[in-house]
Amino acid sequence: MNSMTEMNTISSIKKKYKKKSRFKEIWKRMKKNRIAMFGLAIFAVIVFCTLFADLIVPYKVSLEQNIGIRLQPPSGTHWFGTDVYGRDIFARIIHGTRNSLVMGIGAVFVGISLGGVFGAVAGYYGGRIDALVMRVMDTIMCIPFMLLALAIVAALGPGLVNVLIALMLSMVPYYTRVIRSAILTVIGQDFIEAAKACGTPDRFIIVKHILPNAIGPVIVQATMSVGSMIIWAAAMSFLGMGIQPPTPEWGSMLSEGKDYMLYAPHLVIFPGMAIVLTALSINLMGDGLRDALDPRLKD
C-beta closer to another protein: residue 34 or 196 = 196
DSSP string, 185-247: HHHTSHHHHHHHHTT--HHHIIIIIIHHHHHHHHHHHHHHHHHHHHHHHHHHHHTTSSSPTTS
262 binds another protein (CB under 8 A): no
C-beta closer to another protein: residue 9 or 113 = 9
Which of residues 2, 3, 5, 16 is near another protein by CB under 8 A?
16
Rounded distance between C-alpha atoms, residue 180 and residue 173, angstroms: 10
Residues 238 and 52 sit within 8 Å (Cβ to Cβ) = no
Residue span binding another protein (CB under 8 A) among the ranges 7-15, 145-153, 242-250, 278-286? 7-15
Which of residues 197, 262, 263, 299 is near another protein by CB under 8 A?
197
Residue span binding another protein (CB under 8 A) among the ranges 45-53, 159-167, 255-263, 290-298? 290-298
- Angle CA 148–233–164, to nearest 5: 70
C-beta closer to another protein: residue 58 or 126 = 126
212 binds another protein (CB under 8 A): yes
7 binds another protein (CB under 8 A): no
Residues 267 and 253 sit within 8 Å (Cβ to Cβ) = yes
Residues 156 and 165 sit within 8 Å (Cβ to Cβ) = yes
Which of residues 6, 7, 13, 27 is near another protein by CB under 8 A?
13
C-beta closer to another protein: residue 10 or 161 = 10
195 binds another protein (CB under 8 A): yes
Which of residues 189, 240, 259, 261 is near another protein by CB under 8 A?
189
Q: Is 79 exposed, middle or buried (0-12, 13-18, 19+ CB in 10 A)?
A: middle
Rounded distance between C-alpha atoms, residue 33 and residue 14, angstroms: 26
Residue span binding another protein (CB under 8 A) among the ranges 29-37, 139-147, 197-205, 277-285? 197-205
DSSP string, 268-287: HHHHHHHHHHHHHHHHHHHH
35 binds another protein (CB under 8 A): no
Nearest approach, Cβ of residue 141 and another protein (Å): 26
Which of residues 127, 155, 157, 299 is near another protein by CB under 8 A?
127
Count of residues engaged in binding another protein, rule: CB under 8 A: 30
Helical H segments across the chain, by residue range: 3-19, 22-31, 34-51, 53-56, 89-125, 127-142, 145-156, 160-187, 190-197, 202-204, 211-238, 250-257, 266-293
Chain positions contacting another protein, by CB under 8 A: 10, 13-14, 16-18, 20, 126-127, 189-191, 193-201, 204, 208-209, 212-213, 293-296
